[in-house]
Amino acid sequence: MSRDRPLAGLVVAGGYSSRFGEGDKALAELAGRPLIRRVVDRLGATAQPLVVNCRDEQVEPIRDALQGCHGRVRFAIDPVPDRGPVAGVRTGLADLEREYTAVVACDLPFVDPELLVQLADHADGHDGAVVRLESGWPQPLQAVYRSDAMATACDATLESGSKRLLDVLERLDVVTVPATDLESIDPSAFESIDTRDDLRTVENRLETS
């Protein structure tokens, strides 16, 4: 895939994040900026248009958090709240028309635009490209997918009764890219904020760096 081929962006933010505790994780501040603002700012460096998938009651607070960000952000609202990430991705893709879309979770504040460019290159001619970490785990919510193929796979997975993104990947021709094969990507790009303790740990690291 040519690096100047247009790439859309989708941020998935509609989950209730029970492990995080009270409050909307997407709006939790890290060093003075909401997590979702950090993700949108980074994703917007390489992808347009941008869509945020979320629940209806999240729209206004997220819109406030994104005031002044580069480029226009659209919202794709879950018709049924918190059906899981497969449903969230499917809802978001319905509003995107680019051939390929970068899909990123709202809790990855250090997502690297260059990582998404490299994944887009790997995805060319396939249904997508996903990083596999040294631990062996794939990263389906920091990946690039062919938009129509991903939407179809999400539909089929939901119809089967599954809510697992890994089941979606099994329906696709996806290139798996070992993290060790990626060039000049800081490991922090794969760091997710799952709990309040994670947030405090990362904040402390930023304060002392």
Query: How much is the average pLDDT of 10-27?
Result: 89
- What's residue 4's pLDDT? 57
Is 14 annotated as a binding-site member? yes
On whether the CB atoms of residues 202 and 29 are closer than 8 A, the answer is no
- What's residue 15's pLDDT? 87
Structure tokens at 55: 């629940």
Q: Which residue carries 């539909």 as its tokens?
A: 155
Q: How far apart are the first and last CA of the chain?
A: 36
- What's residue 1's pLDDT? 43
Q: Which residue carries 């709202």 as its tokens?
A: 106
Is 82 annotated as a binding-site member? yes
pTM of the model: 0.94
Is 163 annotated as a binding-site member? no
Whether the predicted pLDDT of 16 surpasses 90 = no
Condensed to tens digits (0 to 9), the pLDDT of residues 87-132 reads: 999 999 998 989 999 999 999 999 999 999 999 999 999 999 999 9
Give me the residues paired with residue 33 across strands: 30
* Domains annotated on the chain, with CATH: 8-208 (3.90.550.10)
Residue 36 to residues 14, 58, 148, 163, 203: CA-CA distances in angstroms?
11, 12, 25, 23, 15
- What's residue 147's pLDDT? 97
Among candidate residues 140, 202, 136, 131, the one with its CA nearest the CA of residue 165: 140
Question: What average pLDDT does the chain have?
Answer: 92
Apex CA 70: angle with CA 194 and CA 179, to 5°?
Answer: 45
Among candidate residues 115, 102, 103, 99, the one with its CA nearest the CA of residue 149: 99
Residue 9, helix vs strand vs coil: strand
Q: Side chain identity at 62, as an amino acid letter?
A: I
Please report which confidence band the pLDDT of residue 208 belongs to, taking 50, 70 and 90 as the band edges: confident
Q: Which residues lie below 8 Å from residue 95, measured CB to CB, with a gap of 6+? A: 51, 74, 76
Whether the predicted pLDDT of 56 surpasses 50 = yes
Residue 113 to residues 40, 107, 150, 177, 185: CA-CA distances in angstroms?
11, 15, 21, 16, 10
